[in-house]
Amino acid sequence: MIQNRPDIVAAVDLGSNSFHMIVCSFKKGKLKVIDRLKEMVRLASGLDEDNNLDFETQARALVCLKRFGQRMQNFPPNSVRIVGTNTLRMATNSREFLIKAEQALGYPVDIISGIEEARLIYQGVAHSLSSHAKLRFVMDIGGGSTEYIIGHDDQPRIKESLNMGCVTVSQKFFKNKEISKKSLRQAILFAEQKLDAYQGRFAYTQWDEAIGASGSLKIIGKVLAAKEWSNNGITLEGLKKLIEHIQTCKHVDELNLPELSDERAPVFLGGVAIIYATFKTLGIQQMTISDGALREGVVHDLLGRLYDHDIRSKTVTALAKNYHTDERHGENIKKTAHYILQQLEPSQTQDDRKMVAQFLSWAAELHEIGHDIAHNAYHKHSAYIIQYADLAGFSRQDQVLLSALVRGHRKKFSEAAFKDLPKPWQQYAPLLTIILRLAVILHRNRHTLSLPDFEIKRDKKQIKLNFPKNWLSQFPLTDADLQLEAEYLHHAGYKLNYH
């Protein structure tokens, strides 16, 4: 449990079109927005044919992030969460950019999957509305992806993220901001084809209320209202009139629409094509617009972590159950791993200790999920599932880290598996893996008897393990396993002494 919870929290959304930051106070159970920053960076426009993010776009983004970083300067580390979305998922040189981005911001950046982005968007919308609809359909058009979610109250049930956004569709079909009836028709058809496979899951018969979230949908709603083509959010009839108007223009500069800024105009048509295709494909007649979106969802997720309602723990428990792990065995390994961790204390700050203990617990719960696929090399199957599954609450970096811990919990051990992890995990992960390895060895025979009190000490790469007198002689299999483990660790430059 975090002892000193911050009163001020911040969330940053590094979207493919715009970067957003929201700063909130949280006192006496009430959340209040005290500051917002937004800049249209158009990160997606900087991807070349090989999905490399070009230097000019990186430079533009970093200038923005330095301003964001100044606003969050001196915020406690646990009070800030920053997420990157579609473009940073796709960019082949995202790692290179993230190093510079984190320096500019002063905080780590989590790359989230499309499905995790959809979950957080729904959270942001759900906490921003007073609607009591039985089932909500939520849609968010980003710069590089569009998310579709159906949920009830604050729980998303169905989530999808499609690889189309206002920036990418505008670039693909309206090059140089030129408009033709053919290009507009092709853009709409492109979006319809993307959505067609999901028509049955998201059709209007599956929900009670449609809600839109994102800058694109807000602007479209404002344009329709200003032109008096719709008086209640976005409607199909209003969209048809907007399409008719667009077809009379040959260039974006000719649109002459109220509420449409010069900054938004270059990506407006891509958003219109996506929302019109969505209304047609899913049979939507009307959609209201929410003020809440991804960044608000990130704030609520962050508060959950601060107040011991971390969705990641629920995700781990559900995953372990889904793969039929031995719950009691996992719990025994977790207890022993924490017993060792308390003696070694590899981390310094209170927040780091909590973070390290969390990941060690999750690794203990999930280390055997690969048994459901095959017993042979099950640790590799476990690691693969953890790295590539859609795990609610986890960033891509979280999953890579957890996968590395589980992958290294048996057989050969190499520190090379951790060299690409972000800080501070390059330092913590090798020792956490050794702790997990030792805990697994000590519970190999799965006996229900509790282990005796034992001591473990570490001096750099030397580890000393002391058991009560004559205990090991009663458990020759454990003795043999520790001897083998000493050999594995020796090859990695460690020395394990035990008696």
Distance between CA atoms of 293 and 270, rounded to whole angstroms?
Answer: 19
Which of 302, 323, 352 is a domain's end point? 302
Does residue 409 share a domain with residue 343?
Answer: yes
Indicate if 77 and 222 belong to the same structural domain: no
Mean pLDDT of 296-305: 94
pLDDT at residue 423, as a whole number = 82
175 and 276 inside one domain: yes
Q: Does the pLDDT at position 350 exceed 80?
A: no
Cβ-proximal residues to 120 (8 Å cutoff; 6+ apart), any chain: 83, 112, 294, 297, 298, 301
Confidence band for 345, pLDDT divided at 50, 70 and 90: confident
Asked if residue 1 is part of any domain, the answer here is no
Q: For residue 447, is it within any domain?
A: yes
Q: Which residues contact 145 (CB under 8 A, 6 or more apart)?
A: 16, 85, 86, 114, 117, 161, 162, 163, 164, 165
- Measured over the CA atoms of residue 423, residue 417, residue 486 and residue 453, the dihedral's sign is positive
Q: Are both 266 and 331 inside the same structural domain?
A: no
Domain annotation covers residue 119: no
Instruction: Give me the percent of the chain exceeding a pLDDT of 70.
Output: 98
Domain end (from 290, 322, 341): 290
Q: Do 281 and 153 share a structural domain? A: yes
Structure pTM? 0.92
135 found inside a domain: yes
pLDDT number for residue 134? 83
Separation of alpha carbons 237 and 276, rounded Å: 10
DSSP 47: B
If asked whether residues 266 and 336 sit together in one domain, one would say no
Average pLDDT over residues 476-489: 94
pLDDT at 1: 44
Which of 254-268, 334-348, 449-463 has maximum average pLDDT?
254-268
**286 and 320: one domain?**
no
Query: Over pLDDT 90: what percentage of the chain?
Result: 85
The tens digit of pLDDT for each residue in 40-75 reads 999 999 999 999 999 999 999 999 999 999 999 999
- For residue 168, what is the domain's CATH number? 3.30.420.150
Residue 3 pLDDT exceeds 60: no
pLDDT in tens, 382-403: 999 999 999 999 999 999 999 9
Among 226, 257, 290, the domain boundary falls at 290
Read off the pLDDT band of 448 (50, 70, 90): low
- Integer Cα distance of 372 and 300 in angstroms: 34
Which CATH number covers residue 24?
3.30.420.40
pLDDT of amino acid 347? 66
Cβ-in-10-Å burial (0-12, 13-18, 19+) of 306 comes to: middle
Q: Is residue 443 part of a domain?
A: yes
CATH number at residue 452: 1.10.3210.10
Q: Convert the pLDDT of each residue in 68-124 to its tens digit.
A: 999 999 999 899 999 999 999 999 999 999 999 999 999 999 999 999 999 999 999
Please count the structural domains in the chain: 3
**Which of the 8 DSSP states describes residue 134?**
S
Q: From start to end of 15-145, where are the E strands?
A: 18-27, 30-40, 80-84, 110-111, 136-141
Return the DSSP state at 170: H
Grouping H, G, I as helix, E, B as strand and the rest as coil, residue 25 is strand
How far is C-alpha 233 from the geometric centre of its chain's CA atoms? 29
- Residue 29: band (very low, low, confident or very high) from pLDDT cuts 50, 70, 90: confident
Q: Do 56 and 156 have their domain in common?
A: no
What pLDDT shows up at residue 453?
92
Q: Are residues 149 and 79 in the same domain?
A: no
Among 115, 94, 91, 31, residue whose Cα is nearest residue 393: 115
Residue at 317 is within a domain = yes
Is residue 248 located within the same domain as residue 359? Answer: no
How confident is the model over 120-138, as a mean pLDDT? 88
Does residue 122 lie within any of the structural domains?
Answer: no
- Residues 169 and 107 occupy one common structural domain: no
Question: Between 105 and 3, where is the model more confident?
Answer: 105
3-state SS assignment for residue 157: strand
Q: Name the residue range of residue 63's domain.
A: 8-112+297-302
Q: How many helices (H) and strands (E) does the chain have?
A: 19, 14
Least confident among 107-111, 112-116, 427-431, 444-448: 444-448
Question: Does residue 100 sit in the same domain as residue 145?
Answer: no
Residue 451 lies in a domain: yes
Q: Is residue 447 pLDDT above 80, yes or no?
A: no
